[in-house]
Amino acid sequence: MTASAALLVPLLIDRSADTGSPPDQRLQDDYTAAADEYHVPRNVLMGVSYLQSRWDSHPGTPSVVGGYGPMHLVDPHVAPAPEAPHDPHDPARPSAAAAGPPARHDAGTPDKPAAQSADLQRAAILTGLPAAQLRTDDAANVRGGAALLAATQRQLGKPLSANPADWWEAVAKFPGTTDKVSAEIYANDVFDVIRRGAQRTTDAGQHVTLTASPGVRPHAPAAQGGPRPKNVECPPELSCSWLGAPYVRIDDDAYGNHDLADRPKDQRIDYIVIHDTEAPLASMLLTIQDPEEASWHYSIRSSDGHVTQHIKTKDAAWHSGSQFVNARSIGVEHEGFLRHPDAWYTEQMYRSSARLVRYLAKKYQVPMDRQHIFGHDNVPAPTEDSIPDMHDDPGPFWDWRHYFDLLGAPLRATAGPDSGVVMILPDYGKHKPRFTGCAKAGVPCAPHGSSAVRLRSEPSDDAPLIQDPGRRPDGEDSTEDVNDLGSRVSAGQTFAVAGRSGDWTAIWFQGHKAWFRNPKAQPTAVGARGRVVTPKEGVKEISVFGRALPEKDAYPEGVDEQPEAPLPYSLRAGQRYVTQSRVLGSYIDRSSFGDSPAPVVKGQEAYYEIQFDHRLAYVRASDVDVVDPPAAAGPGHPAATAGH
């Protein structure tokens, strides 16, 4: 132990002198005590912790790299073993990559994150605390982080200054990346949090506030991407690499693993689809190189947010389960498991993803809303028989509200509380609906913040859950299983109000009224502006589609007309659904291997994209009127009674 480090070793934690702070403010006090003890500016310590974990504890649960507690101190000796890899587009089927062992972790490559310097064992030496205590006790963990920052500052030959701006280099070294760009991004993000301030309720119910310090301006170099592979399409401030997916003929009747295109010249890019891998990244990087497997455009690593591109955005990947959506979208995979968000959905991954998606949305003019940036679990099923096979990632624990904050397009109320349209928007940290199946079928999951709101057939907690006849054609009931989407909606989605009763709000959902608890004290939805579609006057019922196809006359000779295939739902007179875009029908015959893109069949038949249930859907423009929603919907209002 160095002499400077020895000066930082305190006695074991003693809470006997606690001053009686409220139990939900203990963590706030822990930051203050640790900052004072190790002479680290408190806002620097809290800013680093926010980037490491958003101040969450994940009590005793290690991240994918073995990180613990609010400071995400890494103990590589106890890193969790990865789950068995699966094909992300068929969870029941092992991936072809399963035979390959995960790569060893090192710095600087797509499948190898850098070694961490936020070392829990080193923090244990610096603090004199047992490593086990740093894994499970928040106060000890925070002290460990403060000790590491102070030790790094001394190693840099810098004083333990009270000026936060003097700590930029120590902050850049904290996550342990050897990639200069990633380190600079990390430090700049920490200081952005310091300047803006932050507050939230953590997963342990702790209320934490970092007061804004807008005057803090460290003398830091601007992040520069430097030389990159020529194929990479990435914002300059991100660390990105290339690992190409093969476009090859497999036999006379098959090819893989994506389609050549010339987007946006031949087809607009309308959507960006958010996936999680349901497999470790090392496995997925083998999968993407297999022409007989699915494909996607980008992968984002959990541990540090490193981005790897696989397919040019002009080409169409096979990622969504719908050729119609594939033709109009970019697919972004995030290393993680929807049943284990605390271990995999890291803040650095969220931030890298948001930077990438913001760049892509600007480049291709994709609106930053939840009808254009959505999850794999929101992709419309193209046909009735495909509904049960559609996917459910990134799941109810993906924090859409935080993600859109990072995109710079925050989800928020745009109308009063009695408006005729609502946006689903629970407080992620406080909203913890019951789920089962995270560890074992039928077993309750640990309480966890969620973006999902559950729907019932009546305004009562005892009422049956909403049923999805397409997802469960055998008539089975919806469940609370973490993978069961049948009775859920998600943050940022907007719906027309169908009624209100006390603390309950009803929305039009899949042709029926669906009720959710929406108390004023802790609302799960807010008022929103929006246009809605409703069947034309005199029309009792119209069809709903999972794709927008061209009319019959648009197909050229040699291209087979596609069957219309309406979904097993309907939109009835008096019902309303929110629309945020109008599209023309299109189809691409990508049935054979070729050296050039297949032509796009473009129709003149217009459709409106609507938020029909947990997934999107399409209705013919000729079947509906687009109207403003009623100013309010409550007892006695037509929207509260129509369409039973």
SS3 of 445-458: CCCCCCCEEECECC
pLDDT at residue 101, as a whole number: 29
Instruction: Give the closest residue to 613 by CA, choosing from 465, 503, 462, 512.
Output: 512
The angle subtended at Cα 512 by Cα 586 and Cα 378, nearest 5°, is: 45
Q: SS3 helix, strand, coil % of the chain, rounded to 5? A: 25, 20, 55
| Domain 232-396: CATH architecture, name and number where available | 3-Layer(aba) Sandwich (3.40)
Residues 550, 605 contacting (CB under 8 angstroms):
yes
Please give the structure tokens belonging to residue 163. Answer: 């000026």
| Burial of residue 398 (number of CB atoms within 10 Å: 0-12, 13-18, 19+) | buried
Please give the structure tokens belonging to residue 539. Answer: 């029309």
φ/ψ of residue 210, rounded to 5 = -110, 110
pLDDT at residue 114, as a whole number: 52
All residues at 6 or more sequence positions from 356 whose CB lies less than 8 Å from its CB, including other chains:
234, 235, 238, 298, 300, 307, 332
Residues 113, 183 contacting (CB under 8 angstroms):
no
φ/ψ of residue 374, rounded to 5 = -145, 170
φ/ψ of residue 207, rounded to 5 = -90, 115
Residues 66, 77 contacting (CB under 8 angstroms):
yes
Residues 411, 402 contacting (CB under 8 angstroms):
no
Q: How many other CB atoms sit within 10 Å of the CB of residue 243?
A: 16
Q: How many other CB atoms sit within 10 Å of the CB of residue 208?
A: 22
In whole angstroms, what is the distance from residue 640 CA to residue 644 CA? 10
Residues 234, 241 contacting (CB under 8 angstroms):
no
Instruction: Give the closest residue to 177 by CA, choosing from 384, 352, 372.
Output: 352
Please give the structure tokens belonging to residue 459. Answer: 């305004």
Residue ranges, the chain, pLDDT below 70: 1-20, 78-116, 219-227, 631-644
> Could you tell me where in the chain the CATH 1.10.530 domains are found?
3-75+119-210
The three-class DSSP label of residue 237 is coil
Please give the structure tokens belonging to residue 456. Answer: 């019932």
In whole angstroms, what is the distance from residue 199 CA to residue 194 CA? 11
In whole angstroms, what is the distance from residue 343 CA to residue 351 CA? 16
Residues 347, 53 contacting (CB under 8 angstroms):
yes
The three-class DSSP label of residue 514 is strand
Each as own residue / partner, the long-range contacts of residues 132-137 (CB below 8 Å, 24 or more positions apart, any chain) are 133/13, 134/68, 134/69, 134/73, 135/60, 135/62, 135/68, 135/69, 135/73, 135/75, 135/78, 136/59, 136/60, 136/68, 136/69, 137/13, 137/69
Angle of helix 26-38 versus helix 42-53 axis, rounded to 10: 120
pLDDT at residue 598, as a whole number: 94
The predicted-structure confidence for 91-111, as pLDDT tens digits, reads as follows 333 333 332 323 323 334 665
Residues 559, 589 contacting (CB under 8 angstroms):
yes
In whole angstroms, what is the distance from residue 367 CA to residue 353 CA? 16
Q: Which helix (H) or strand (E) holds 331?
A: strand 329-334
> Could you tell me where in the chain the CATH 3.40.80.10 domains are found?
232-396
Angle of helix 347-364 versus helix 400-407 axis, rounded to 10: 50
The size of the chain, in residues, is: 644
> Which pTM was predicted?
0.90
Residues 330, 272 contacting (CB under 8 angstroms):
yes
> For residue 332, what are the β-bridge partners?
274, 298
**Cα dihedral 301→304→309→314 (10° resolution):** 100
Residues 328, 268 contacting (CB under 8 angstroms):
yes
In whole angstroms, what is the distance from residue 632 CA to residue 165 CA? 51
User: In this structure, which topology does domain 3-75+119-210 adopt according to CATH?
Assistant: Lysozyme (1.10.530)
Please give the structure tokens belonging to residue 524. Answer: 């799960």
